[in-house]
Amino acid sequence: MTRHARTTASGGGSTRAAPVPTQHLAELAWNLFDEAGEDVLLPREQITESIHATDGQFERTKGYIRDHMTMEKGKAFLAYRGGYMITTDPGKIAENASLRMRRINTELRRVLSGSINPLGDQVADYEVLAMFQDEIAHMTRTYDRMSKATMTMAKPVRTAKPKRRRRAAART
């Protein structure tokens, strides 16, 4: 059976993609990045079409690449400005790490504000919640210190934002 074959689920008549090992898809994707070259941004659609992966398969593939292949290959794999790339550029890696850590920090703050802190003084009655509250607060303070420190450092990669044009006043 080929990679593109569909199988029928028992009884329901629905179809699903034939299973393909994540490691195989990761190798195909890495080869695609290698062929494109370092620092070449590839859109998600191009990658999934080239390796014939579903969205779910691509999500697992990205995890496999980050967990296993990057150390072996000595290159970072980045979701970067609307696409994906492999790189050894410290500026791009730093920019990507900063964005990802900001997202993690936001999620940590939401765990506190949306789940734990609303319990108020009751948190102290639950050892695990008190520990989460303390440790998450520590993590967010650490992020704040890192963020302040990096503000003083040069930004090796910066998104060029298009300048807004002023509309000419309508003439009557």
Number of domains forming the structure of the chain: 2
Nearest-angstrom CA–CA distance, 125 and 28: 51
Same domain for 96 and 82: no
The answer to whether 113 and 61 have CB atoms below 8 angstroms apart is no
Same domain for 101 and 71: no
Answer yes or no: is 10 within a domain.
Answer: no
Same domain for 74 and 60: yes
* pLDDT band at residue 101 under the 50/70/90 scheme: very high
Same domain for 99 and 48: no
Same domain for 78 and 110: no
Which of 87, 102, 134 is the C-terminal boundary of a domain?
A: 87
Helix (H, G, I), strand (E, B) or coil at 167: coil
pTM of the predicted model over 0.95 = no
* pLDDT band at residue 8 under the 50/70/90 scheme: very low
* pLDDT band at residue 56 under the 50/70/90 scheme: very high
For 8, 44, 169, the CA distances from 31, given in Å and listed in that order, are 31, 15, 53
User: Domain residues for 41?
Assistant: 20-87
